[in-house]
Amino acid sequence: FCGEKSDRVTIAGPAVSLNPAIAQSLALVVHELATNAAKYGALSVPTGRVAVGWQLDQKMLTVNWDESDGPPVHAPERNGFGSQIMKATIERQLKGNLEHEWRPEGLLCSFSFLSENGRATGVRPPQNRPEQAKPGSGADVMLVEDEALVGLMIADFLSELGYRVIGPFTKTEDAMETAKTAPLAAAVLDVNIAGVEIYPLAEFLQRRNVPFVFVTGYGADGIDKRFAGVTVLQKPVDREALRYALVSRIQNHATNQPVARSRAVAR
């Protein structure tokens, strides 16, 4: 974080170092606030202003988004998609608190969370991309991801690619129960789910001959060596990288497995 000031936007606060996982989540929340301000709030009119400030108190980071001099503001009758994402990101993912105050002069949004509850990043990119990779139509792909917004984004990507998304699961045990009976074509797995490693589920999928890819904030060195051949995608996930990785894994799996076994796990 740093501090800046312009004619309409003021950004100020002490220097704070955030790990990539937290920074990614915070960037998504700020993006949602800025988008709403530009469409409906203070930044939608020439006179409006936004002040963003933050304080750090014993690792607890508090951020205030303060809009003023914009159009009249009223509390929404229901929480929209963006509000749901913000709430899930701050309260579920970062284990923090989120408050909205719908003042006549402008929105005041405050949220706070521990500044050191994320994970490190840095992973190897997917390798051996096929020249022409086309996703299958309607195949079931399991998604296990505990970061709310990341899960929704990946689910959207998978749906756009023609897959039917099973999940996203935010608990390994729930995903394991589904994996026992679901006719999965593939799986997308976060390595760390609420502090629990995904490897038992990955081993189970291997025994079921279900191909999968890892989506994680960990570095490649942090991946268990038993899964050295599995593609690792870095957050934030690139749609094309996900497409190539999944198609490659599914195609390679089909090529290397006996026909009877392939039919047993295919829809």
Q: Where are the beta strands (DSSP E) in the chain?
A: 4-5, 9-12, 49-57, 60-68, 97-103, 106-114, 140-144, 164-169, 186-190, 192-193, 196-197, 212-216, 232-234
Least confident of 43-52, 150-159, 249-258: 249-258
- Residues near 249 by beta carbon (within 8 Å), at least 6 away in sequence: 186, 211, 212, 213, 230, 231
Cα torsion 232, 234, 240, 246 to 10°: value is 30
| pLDDT tens for each residue of 16-39 | 888 767 887 888 899 899 999 999
DSSP assignment letter at 121: -
When the pLDDT of each residue in the chain is averaged and rounded to a whole number, the result is 81
Say what the pLDDT of residue 263 is.
31
Written as six digits, the tokens of 145 are 């991801």
Helix (H) or strand (E) holding 210: none
Is residue 95 predicted with pLDDT exceeding 80?
yes
Write down the pLDDT at residue 128.
43
Under a CB-based contact definition with an 8 Å cutoff, are residues 136 and 94 in contact?
Answer: no
Residue from 194, 195, 189, 196 nearest 210 by CA: 189
pLDDT digits (tens, 9 = 90+) for 135-186: 456 789 999 998 887 888 888 889 888 999 999 999 999 999 999 999 999 9
The confidence score (pLDDT) of residue 6 equals: 66
- 79 pLDDT above the threshold of 50: yes
| Pairing of β 140-144 and β 106-114 | unpaired
How far is the C-alpha of 106 from the C-alpha of 75, rounded, in Å?
A: 11
pLDDT recorded at residue 257: 55
Q: What CA–CA distances, in Å, run from 225 to 122, 164, 172, 219, 222?
A: 17, 30, 20, 13, 9
The reported pLDDT for the residue numbered 183 is: 92
